[in-house]
Chains A and B, each alone.
Chain A
């Protein structure tokens, strides 16, 4: 009696464990499947891409990539995305770090609320004013314009994340540095910044990614010379007839760099995203 009871409870344990792993694997597969499908399809001939049932064993080809890279200025688009994302992240840091520090140190809740308010605005609301402003300034289609516009994305993000981290720094640290003969700015640069370096890296990465992924601001402000990647993706489907092969290659080249970067920097990103959430 005892033996069979023990056995059935054992089986229950194993079953529960298997069920748990089944759930975990299902979730993981659902999360990863689109990426897997995207990369796989980018190496298929067009016929194989939209054949049903889906083709798992196929003749791989680089023709889609060759087509995209030769027929469109894809590398230019990538360069534009990179310039704009780095520029707006850089300026966002330059302006955002002192601002976040000041808010944290002097507890200026009002300013923090104003920055939160920028999140409330529908992104679409920025489009017309920015367009008219840059039109009047003759800046439409320049990198500068898009970098400035993206500050609407990067600045609030950086400040929001950094406020939490700056709040964690004990204020005596600054006092100690001042006693040691630093000016206040020196204290800021030499003591505080190194302490929050991981947070700075985190907020930079997140801002960069969000700028890289932006579509609507780039749609309105950029011209063919300064087009960014998301726009390139949009146009593969919405301009001429749909070509699935080149579309898959384009999308892969846009998404994969970010994914690879995230794979190695995952810890930072999670910390930044949740920090912005918890301390809010």
Chain B
């Protein structure tokens, strides 16, 4: 036993993480590599056919298919709408939760609930609440004489409806991260600014926001990536409908692989998605480091 412990200690530097990184490369990189490999092949599985190399044909097909192009614009719509509302409201709510008030501990506890709830389950709940005739949301709207939308049933309102659910679930995430940023704010700039006669709004705009910038960008990055990857909520509530109008690129790729069994084409879509996300993260990381 002595020798084993010594051996491990001596080579600790690479031995400790070794199992972990076998895991990383096995479980994480292999799918990535295989996905990229399949992107250049055509493969609809049957016992006879093997993947056939087709070069860039999948990518050519992708960018000339209206359904894919529409999926891209729908994804952009979905992501910008959810990012916009989540970051904006998240910062506001963090500001509110930062103030001391009675019951703040309880509110903070309750706030975590949406984050940990099972997306599929909450999707079902909201699906029922959004039913145009028997759903509770339209009932509440009717009480205040506001128009009652078709929510998930209409092409024009389906994405905002999905964004509403996504926002309900993830605003607490943004708020909590920004709240942690609040606790790191230095006190002196505020003190001198107040002496100089700054209003609360000025304090917020010229001091708080710039200080919170790195935190906000981190939150934005996480939410941006996760928004693009949204799957559970959409599949459960609309399956990409009505008439493919809530199909994000992610959902479109899933359907190509698991409903149409076009493994090569579906993989090429996912490759494009992965590259786009990578670029996005790169840009956001640069923004975070920049000092302005």
Please pick, from B107, B176, B266, the residue contacting A273 in the complex, using a CB distance under 8 A: B176
Separation of A266 and B67 alpha carbons in the complex (Å): 43
How far apart are A14's CB and chain B's nearest CB, in angstroms? Answer: 14
Please pick, from A30, A37, A259, the residue contacting B125 in the complex, using a CB distance under 8 A: A37
Q: Are B116 and A50 neighbours in the complex by a CB distance under 8 Å?
A: no
Q: Are A127 and B28 neighbours in the complex by a CB distance under 8 Å?
A: no
Interface string of B171-191 (1 = CB under 8 A from A): 011001101110000000000
Separation of A236 and B128 alpha carbons in the complex (Å): 13
> With A120-B225, A151-B23, A262-B112 as given contacts, are A103 and B17 in contact (CB-CB < 8 Å)?
yes
Tell me the residues in window 24-46 of chain A with beta carbons closer than 8 Å to chain B beta carbons: 24, 27-28, 30-32, 34-35, 37-38
Q: Which residues of B contact A262 (CB under 8 A)?
A: 109, 112-113, 116
- CB nearest neighbor in B for A53: B139
Q: Which residues of B contact A148 (CB under 8 A)?
A: 27
- CB nearest neighbor in B for A244: B128
Count class of interface residues, chain A: 35 or more
> With A24-B107, A269-B112, A280-B218 as given contacts, are A121 and B253 in contact (CB-CB < 8 Å)?
no
Tell me the residues in window 196-230 of chain A with beta carbons closer than 8 Å to chain B beta carbons: 209, 212-213, 215-216, 220, 229-230
Q: Which residues of A contact B112 (CB under 8 A)?
A: 262, 266, 269-270
- CB nearest neighbor in B for A116: B281
Q: Which residues of B contact A130 (CB under 8 A)?
A: 31
Interface string of B102-136 (1 = CB under 8 A from A): 01000111111111111111101111110101101
Separation of A230 and B123 alpha carbons in the complex (Å): 11
Please pick, from A128, A185, A238, the residue contacting B5 in the complex, using a CB distance under 8 A: A185
Q: Which residues of B contact A54 (CB under 8 A)?
A: 136, 139
Count class of interface residues, chain B: 35 or more
Q: Which residues of B contact A121 (CB under 8 A)?
A: 28, 31-32, 274
Please pick, from A32, A34, A125, A216, the residue contacting B35 in the complex, using a CB distance under 8 A: A125
> With A31-B111, A273-B173 as given contacts, are A213 and B119 in contact (CB-CB < 8 Å)?
yes
Q: Is A157 an interface residue (CB 8 A)?
A: no
How far apart are A158's CB and chain B's nearest CB, in angstroms? Answer: 10
Separation of A10 and B67 alpha carbons in the complex (Å): 61
- Secondary structure at chain A's binding surface: helix, strand, loop or mixed? helix
Separation of A215 and B121 alpha carbons in the complex (Å): 10
Separation of A259 and B35 alpha carbons in the complex (Å): 36
Q: Are B24 and A24 neighbours in the complex by a CB distance under 8 Å?
A: no
Q: Is B34 an interface residue (CB 8 A)?
A: yes
Separation of A277 and B219 alpha carbons in the complex (Å): 7
Q: Which residues of B contact A116 (CB under 8 A)?
A: 281
Q: Is A76 an interface residue (CB 8 A)?
A: no
A126, A159, A258: which has the most chain B beta carbons within 10 Å? A126
> With A37-B125, A99-B17, A159-B20 as given contacts, are A128 and B257 in contact (CB-CB < 8 Å)?
yes
Separation of A94 and B23 alpha carbons in the complex (Å): 12
Q: Which of A57-65, A136-144, A247-255 contacts B (4 or more CB under 8 A)?
A: A247-255
**Interface, chain A (partner B; CB < 8 A):** 20-21, 23-24, 27-28, 30-32, 34-35, 37-38, 50-54, 94-96, 98-99, 101-103, 106, 108, 111, 114-130, 132-133, 148-149, 151-152, 155-156, 159, 183-186, 209, 212-213, 215-216, 220, 229-230, 233-234, 236-238, 244, 247, 251, 254-255, 258-259, 262-263, 266, 269-270, 273-274, 277-278, 280
